[in-house]
């Protein structure tokens, strides 16, 4: 009696799995078997309390009273509104004002004239006028360069081109390899390098996060095959989460960047934010790694959970060695 029922139950589960596979193939075929970010859930704000610390930490405490924040918000009953809940926005405003910062709210209006002398601009929702924003016009009005995207909707590459530093504080649900800035950088590296080249990955400074999504070198390695990428202690840096955490801690404990000097570039290949370049001279162990392998390029990066063009700079090995030699004289 039991065996026939178990057989029927097994058949139901087998049919469900088969139905799932068929539906997946139909959906994939409908999009031409091409990945589409639109099939993933919308980005979500990471904070549900509206604390302003990400904004306030950009400035010295005694200077906060001289700073202005432009808050791009809209009525929550706007059509298809997705963004921070109104009470969270109110908490953010109160938190900023408690630090004596000036807050200018757009409330669905044109942000460009309101951006005059703003030090920071904050996106709170997906209001279409804000998504189509002219970043060059915004940059011309603002005093500062900082953009805080609490909703995950801004085109950070377009902001970079205008000389603005956009930082995404929303949780993205689509996979790493669908990141638009990553795709732009992959195209750039394909043009800049040869398929047989070797590339040494060099962090610009302390690894600032243990977020697994920050391992953008995994996606670069996969998308730029057959180019060879070299990473310090790769068996841990590319392994499971626990080993990756230990890899971050080990690198931060060794502090090889403290043996080097920052290198400021007058012009960058791909990012307009030349004064924020991750470039530096090379530490002795990095020179040894480059010389013991067939390396043509140094890829400097700043370890962040969001892929930003500003955090990456590709430099010929000869140039990095020249910087190091000049700094040692």
203 found inside a domain: yes
pLDDT at 33: 52
Q: Is residue 139 domain-shared with residue 246, that is, in the same domain?
A: no
Q: Is residue 182 domain-shared with residue 324, that is, in the same domain?
A: yes
**Model-level pTM?**
0.86
| Residue span of the structural domain in which 321 resides | 176-328
16 found inside a domain: no
CA–CA separation, 113 vs 306, rounded Å? 29
pLDDT 10s digits, 161-177: 999 999 988 877 778 87
pLDDT score of 32 more than 60:
no
219 found inside a domain: yes
Q: Is residue 207 domain-shared with residue 303, that is, in the same domain?
A: yes
59 found inside a domain: yes
Under a CB-based contact definition with an 8 Å cutoff, are residues 202 and 170 in contact?
no
Q: Is residue 97 domain-shared with residue 182, that is, in the same domain?
A: no
Lookup result for tokens 């996060």:
209
Q: Is residue 263 domain-shared with residue 318, that is, in the same domain?
A: yes
Q: Is residue 90 domain-shared with residue 119, that is, in the same domain?
A: yes
247 found inside a domain: yes
Edge-to-edge strands, sheet with 228-230: 228-230, 198-203, 297-301, 312-316
**Per-residue pLDDT band at 150 (split at 50, 70, 90):** confident
CATH number, domain with residue 99: 3.40.50.720
Lowest mean pLDDT: which of 37-51, 183-197, 211-225? 37-51
Average pLDDT of the residues of the chain: 90
Q: Is residue 125 domain-shared with residue 245, that is, in the same domain?
A: no
Of 52 and 36, the structure prediction assigns the larger pLDDT to: 52
pLDDT score of 293 more than 70:
yes
pLDDT at 49: 76
Q: Is residue 117 domain-shared with residue 241, that is, in the same domain?
A: no
CA–CA separation, 265 vs 165, rounded Å? 17
CA–CA separation, 301 vs 310, rounded Å? 9
**Which structure tokens are listed for 95?**
């938190």
The alpha carbon torsion through 158, 163, 169, 171 (nearest 10 deg) reads: 30
**Which structure tokens are listed for 88?**
């969270």
Q: Is residue 189 domain-shared with residue 134, that is, in the same domain?
A: no
12 found inside a domain: no
**Per-residue pLDDT band at 20 (split at 50, 70, 90):** low
pLDDT score of 1 more than 60:
no
pLDDT at 37: 63
| Region 84-103 average pLDDT | 94
Looking at 112, 137, 171, which one is the last position of a domain?
171
290: helix, strand or coil: helix
| Region 60-84 average pLDDT | 92
CA–CA separation, 162 vs 140, rounded Å? 9
Looking at 138, 171, 204, which one is the last position of a domain?
171
Q: Is residue 159 domain-shared with residue 200, that is, in the same domain?
A: no
34 found inside a domain: no
Of 46 and 102, the structure prediction assigns the larger pLDDT to: 102
Looking at 111, 141, 171, which one is the last position of a domain?
171
Q: Is residue 167 domain-shared with residue 180, that is, in the same domain?
A: no
2 found inside a domain: no
* Cα distances (angstroms) measured from residue 273 to each of 264, 277, 309: 11, 7, 9
pLDDT at 91: 93
pLDDT at 54: 87
Q: How many domains does the chain have?
A: 2
Nearest residue to 206 (alpha-carbon basis) of 137, 273, 302: 302
| Region 296-319 average pLDDT | 96
Q: Is residue 48 domain-shared with residue 120, that is, in the same domain?
A: yes
Nearest residue to 143 (alpha-carbon basis) of 63, 201, 82, 220: 63
Beta bridge partners of 71: 105, 122
């Amino acid at each position: 009696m039991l065996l026939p029922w178990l057989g029927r139950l097994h058949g139901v589960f087998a049919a469900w799995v088969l139905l799932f596979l068929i539906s997946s193939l139909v959906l994939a075929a409908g999009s031409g078997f091409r990945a589409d970010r639109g099939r993933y859930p919308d980005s979500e704000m990471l904070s549900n309390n509206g604390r302003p610390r990400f904004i306030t930490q950009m400035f010295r405490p005694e200077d906060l009273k001289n700073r202005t924040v432009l808050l791009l918000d809209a009525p929550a009953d706007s059509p298809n509104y997705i963004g921070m809940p109104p009470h969270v926005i109110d908490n953010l405003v109160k938190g900023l004002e408690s630090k004596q910062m000036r807050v200018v709210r757009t409330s669905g209006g044109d942000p460009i004239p309101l951006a005059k002398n703003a030090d920071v601009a904050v996106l709170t929702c997906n209001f279409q006028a804000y998504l189509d924003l002219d970043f060059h016009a915004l940059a011309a009005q603002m005093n500062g360069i900082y953009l805080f995207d609490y909703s995950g909707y801004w085109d950070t590459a377009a902001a970079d081109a205008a000389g603005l530093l956009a930082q995404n504080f929303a949780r993205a649900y689509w996979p790493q390899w669908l990141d638009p800035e990553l795709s732009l950088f992959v195209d750039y590296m394909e043009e800049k390098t040869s398929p047989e080249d070797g590339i040494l990955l060099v962090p610009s400074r302390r690894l600032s996060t243990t977020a697994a999504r920050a391992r953008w070198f995994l996606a670069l390695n996969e998308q730029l095959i057959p180019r060879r990428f070299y990473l310090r202690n790769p068996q841990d840096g590319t392994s499971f989460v626990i080993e990756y955490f230990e890899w971050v801690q080990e690198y931060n404990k060794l502090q090889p960047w403290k043996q080097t000097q920052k290198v400021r570039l007058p012009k960058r290949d791909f990012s307009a934010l030349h004064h924020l370049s991750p470039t530096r001279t090379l530490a002795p162990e990095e020179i040894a790694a480059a010389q013991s392998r067939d390396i043509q390029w140094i890829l400097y990066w700043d370890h962040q959970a969001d892929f930003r063009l500003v955090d990456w700079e590709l430099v010929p090995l000869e140039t990095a060695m020249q910087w190091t030699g000049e700094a040692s004289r």
